[in-house]
C-alpha cells in the first residue's frame, strides 16, 4: 500500500521530512515549531524514562540547544518504514559535531509520525563520548541525574512476533530474509551467547560504531565488545521491541533498524560501581547494514551515563534532581 503524502507533506518523502524538520528545530533554532510537529500528548521514551507531554519536549530541547550552542547535527541515516497508509516510523541517526573543537557524538531517534505529527518516540544519545573526551568523572555525572522510569508501551511485554508488529504497530512484511537474519543473530549471538556464530551473520570486514564513540572491527572485536557489556549483567536478555527496514543508495543500500530493551540483574563485573543485584531496564537502538545478503555494519547506541544513573538510584546514592528526558 503506497504511503499517503499526508504522512510527510510538505516534504518530498519521509526521509526529506525527517532531515528538514530536525534541521529547522535543532540548527535553525525554531524551537516553537515543536508545537506544530508534536501532538500535545506525544510520548517520548528516553534514557531516563518516559515523558508524556509536548511541553517537556520543548523545554528539554531548549536546554540542550542552549547548553551546546556550537554543535550542529546532520543525518547519517534515516531508516523509515510505513505504518499503515498515513504514518511512518523513522530511525534517524544523527551525527553532531562542535563547529570549533570538532568533538562529536551520535544520537538515534526512532519517531512514529501519523499524518505529519509525532505521536511516540524512542531516543538514545551517546552521552559517554563527550564525557570521556572531557575527562569527567562518569559516576559523578550519573549521581547528578535522576532516573524517572518508564511508563506506557515500554512497560508492556515485548511483541510476540516483531516481524509482524512492534511497539509502533503493524509493519509491512518488507525484506523478510534480512529481518529474519537480524532476529536470528540477536537470539543466537546476543542472547544464546554463541559468540562463535558472529561469522555466520557478519562479513569478515565488519565495522561497529558504539557508545563512547568506539569503533570496533572484525568478528573478534565484535565478540569482545559484547562480552565487555554482558560481563556486568551475565544473565541479561535482549528483547526486540520494533523493526524497520529501508533500501536507499544514499545510505549504502539495505538497512534494518531494531529498537531493543536489555533487562538483566547487575550481579557480574562491577563496571558501574558496587553491585546491586537488581535489574536494569535499558533502552537501545541498533542500525544494521547489509552487503550481498550478510551484515557488514552495525551502529549500536544506548546512554551509558543514564545507565549509571539508573544503577546509582538503585543503590540509593543518587540525589533527587531533574533529568532532561529529551
Confidence band, pLDDT 50/70/90 cuts, at residue 316: confident
Residue 278 pLDDT > 60, yes or no? yes
**pLDDT value of position 321:** 58
Does residue 244 sit within a domain? yes
Q: Are 15 and 114 members of one domain?
A: yes
Q: Are 165 and 106 members of one domain?
A: no
The H-or-E segment that residue 230 falls in is helix 218-230
Q: Are 292 and 216 members of one domain?
A: yes
Which domain-ending residue is among 77, 108, 143? 143
Does residue 195 sit within a domain? yes
* Helix/strand number for the chain, H first, E second: 9, 14
Q: Are 130 and 275 members of one domain?
A: no
75-112 tens-digit pLDDT: 999 999 999 999 999 999 999 999 988 899 999 999 99
Residue 320 pLDDT > 60, yes or no? no
Q: What is the mean pLDDT of residues 261-277?
A: 97
| Domain that residue 220 falls in | 161-315
Global pTM reads: 0.96
164-221 tens-digit pLDDT: 999 999 999 999 999 999 999 999 999 999 999 999 999 999 999 999 999 999 999 9
Residue 236 pLDDT > 90, yes or no? yes
**pLDDT value of position 317:** 76
- d(CA 4, CA 113) in angstroms, rounded, equals 12
Compare 322 and 179 and report the one with higher pLDDT: 179
**pLDDT value of position 75:** 96
34-83 tens-digit pLDDT: 999 999 999 999 999 999 999 999 999 999 999 999 999 999 999 999 99
Burial class (CB in 10 A: 0-12, 13-18, 19+), 295: buried
Confidence band, pLDDT 50/70/90 cuts, at residue 324: confident
Q: What is the mean pLDDT of the chain?
A: 95
Residue 8 pLDDT > 80, yes or no? yes
* CATH number assigned to the domain comprising residue 245: 3.10.450.50
What is the total count of domains within the chain? 2
Does residue 289 sit within a domain? yes
Sheet of strand 237-248: strand arrangement: 214-217, 202-210, 294-301, 279-291, 253-265, 237-248
**pLDDT value of position 97:** 94
Confidence band, pLDDT 50/70/90 cuts, at residue 158: very high
Which domain-ending residue is among 113, 143, 173? 143
Residue 318 pLDDT > 60, yes or no? no
pLDDT over 90, % of the chain: 93
pLDDT over 70, % of the chain: 98
Does residue 322 sit within a domain? no
Q: Are 298 and 186 members of one domain?
A: yes
- d(CA 108, CA 126) in angstroms, rounded, equals 9
Q: Are 138 and 167 members of one domain?
A: no
φ and ψ of 277, to 5 deg: 70, 10
φ and ψ of 12, to 5 deg: -70, -35
Q: Are 124 and 195 members of one domain?
A: no
Which domain-ending residue is among 86, 108, 143? 143
Does residue 148 sit within a domain? no
Amino acid at each position: 500500500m503506497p504511503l499517503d503524502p499526508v504522512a510527510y507533506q510538505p516534504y518530498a518523502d519521509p526521509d526529506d521530512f525527517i532531515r528538514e524538520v530536525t534541521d529547522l528545530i535543532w540548527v535553525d533554532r525554531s524551537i516553537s515549531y515543536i508545537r506544530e510537529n508534536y501532538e500535545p500528548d506525544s510520548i517520548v521514551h528516553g534514557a531516563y524514562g518516559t515523558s508524556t507531554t509536548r511541553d517537556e519536549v520543548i523545554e528539554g530541547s531548549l536546554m540542550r540547544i542552549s547548553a551546546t550552542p556550537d554543535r550542529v547535527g546532520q543525518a547519517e541515516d534515516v531508516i523509515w518504514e510505513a505504518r499503515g497508509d498515513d504514518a511512518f516510523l523513522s530511525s534517524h541517526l544523527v551525527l553532531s559535531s562542535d563547529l570549533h573543537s570538532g568533538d562529536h557524538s551520535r544520537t538515534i531517534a526512532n519517531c512514529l509520525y501519523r499524518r505529519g505529527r509525532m505521536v511516540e518516540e524512542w531516543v538514545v544519545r551517546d552521552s559517554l563520548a563527550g564525557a570521556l573526551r572531557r575527562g569527567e568523572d562518569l559516576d559523578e555525572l550519573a549521581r547528578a541525574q535522576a532516573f524517572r522510569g518508564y511508563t506506557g508501551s515500554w512497560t508492556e511485554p515485548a511483541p510476540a512476533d516483531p516481524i509482524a508488529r512492534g511497539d509502533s504497530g503493524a509493519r509491512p512484511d518488507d525484506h523478510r530474509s534480512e529481518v529474519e537474519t537480524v532476529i536470528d543473530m540477536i537470539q543466537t549471538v546476543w542472547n544464546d551467547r554463541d559468540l562463535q556464530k558472529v561469522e555466520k551473520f557478519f562479513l569478515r570486514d565488519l565495522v561497529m560504531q558504539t557508545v563512547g564513540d568506539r569503533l570496533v572491527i572484525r568478528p573478534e572485536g565484535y565478540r569482545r565488545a559484547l562480552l565487555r557489556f554482558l560481563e556486568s549483567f551475565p544473565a541479561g536478555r535482549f528483547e526486540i521491541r520494533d523493526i524497520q527496514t529501508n533500501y536507499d543508495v544514499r545510505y549504502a543500500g539495505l538497512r534494518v533498524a531494531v529498537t531493543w530493551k536489555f533487562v538483566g540483574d547487575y550481579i557480574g563485573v562491577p563496571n558501574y560501581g558496587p553491585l546491586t543485584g537488581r535489574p536494569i531496564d535499558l533502552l537501545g537502538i541498533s542500525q544494521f547494514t547489509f552487503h550481498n545478503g550478510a551484515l557488514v555494519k552495525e551502529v549500536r547506541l544506548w546512554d551509558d551515563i543514564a545507565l549509571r544513573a539508573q544503577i546509582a538510584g538503585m543503590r540509593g546514592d543518587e540525589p533527587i534532581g531533574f533529568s532532561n528526558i529529551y
